[in-house]
Amino acid sequence: MTTTVTLTGTGVPIPSPGRAGAGVLVRHGTTVLQFDAGRGTVLRLAEAGVGLHEVTALFVTHVHSDHVIGLPDLVMGRWIQDHVWRTGPLDLHLPEGEAAGFAARMLDPYAADIALRMEHVQEAPPEPRLHAFACGSEPREIWSRDGVTVEAVAVHHEPVPDAVAYRVRTPDGTVVISGDTRVCDEVEELSQNADVLVHEACRTTALHAAVAGTPFEKIFSYHADTVALGGLAKRADVRHLMLTHLIPAPGDAAGEREFAHDVRLGGYEGVLTVGRDLMTATIG
């Protein structure tokens, strides 16, 4: 049995051709875990060969729209199919605070649609099971089943509160998903000897002068600089680093090479993937 890690979305809020919103899929046997659900997640899951009824649980890193805008789509889509698959409600795990509040309200705009569908086919309304957790600077286990565990730790995406990274342990190895964060000690510790680290990437060093004095200067301050990220991956002895949530989105292969150059400049010498949607890494 192997563990696979698939990038279901490598984009950011600004639309970019071929890049769905943030998302990472981790599969081990029949355990199917989705992390975040940005724009187009449902379609990317279908393209990855995953039915919505097959998703075991979904984990949210933080409340920014580009990470959760696809969540109602996933929940509603699964519910609409439930009279066929009978899989029941989806388990949603998310940090306490704004993310949990969003999930509790996310189906409100669909009240009329839900009522109409229940008149025709559906037997009960969609009721995703919300599991909100508190998280600090030390990792804590929040989920476990069939030899797979998920841990969460708070990260630094200020001013966004309650942002977390996740570590998935399977019998094959370890996968870490950073969520959105600047390079920080918490993710470095979480990533020690990880088989795969999926980390957001922002070319802050290269573009610092170009964004000085613009709103992007603030945005760059709470995302992960590619050069510093290379240093983190080297110190943590990460075997495979996958870059996602690419800022700015590379328009071609030359742009992707610039991301890779930055990371290598930071000292990382392991396996490096500049992410595109549906790229997959295998452990085991």
pLDDT tens for each residue of 209-263: 888 888 877 888 889 999 999 999 999 999 999 999 999 999 899 999 999 999 9
Out of 66, 225, 262, 277, the active site residue is 66
Residue pair 90/44 in contact (Cβ under 8 Å)? The answer is no
| DSSP for residue 108 | G
Q: Per residue in 135-193, pLDDT tens? A: 999 999 999 999 999 999 999 999 988 999 999 999 999 999 999 999 999 999 999 99
Kindly state the average pLDDT of the residues 271-282.
Answer: 98
Which pair of tokens denotes residue 267? 């000292």
Q: How far is CA 147 from CA 3, 25, 144, 220, in A?
A: 12, 17, 7, 38
Number of domains in the chain: 1
Global pTM reads 0.96
Residue pair 235/215 in contact (Cβ under 8 Å)? The answer is no
Residue pair 37/58 in contact (Cβ under 8 Å)? The answer is yes
Q: Residues 120, 123, 124, 130: is their CA dihedral positive or negative?
A: negative
Amino acid 161: pLDDT: 85
202 pLDDT above the threshold of 90: yes
- β-partners of residue 123 are none
- Which amino acid is it at 4? T
Amino acid 284: pLDDT: 87
Residue pair 88/124 in contact (Cβ under 8 Å)? The answer is no
Q: Per residue in 48-104, pLDDT tens? A: 999 999 999 999 999 999 999 999 999 999 999 988 888 889 999 999 999 999 999
Continuous segment of H or E residues that includes residue 187: helix 185-190
DSSP labels for 21-32? Answer: SSEEEEEETTEE
Domain range for 80 is 3-283
Angle, nearest 10°, between helix axes 204-211 and 226-235? Answer: 160
Q: Nearest Cα to 178, choosing from 223, 210, 128, 133?
A: 223
**DSSP 3-state percent helix, strand, coil across the chain (nearest 5):** 30, 30, 40
SS3 14: coil
Q: Nearest Cα to 235, choosing from 178, 282, 274, 197?
A: 197
Angle, nearest 10°, between helix axes 204-211 and 253-265? Answer: 110
Query: What's the CATH number where 105 sits?
Result: 3.60.15.10
Amino acid 207: pLDDT: 83
The alpha carbon torsion through 51, 52, 57, 58 (nearest 10 deg) reads 120
Q: Is 36 a catalytic residue?
A: no
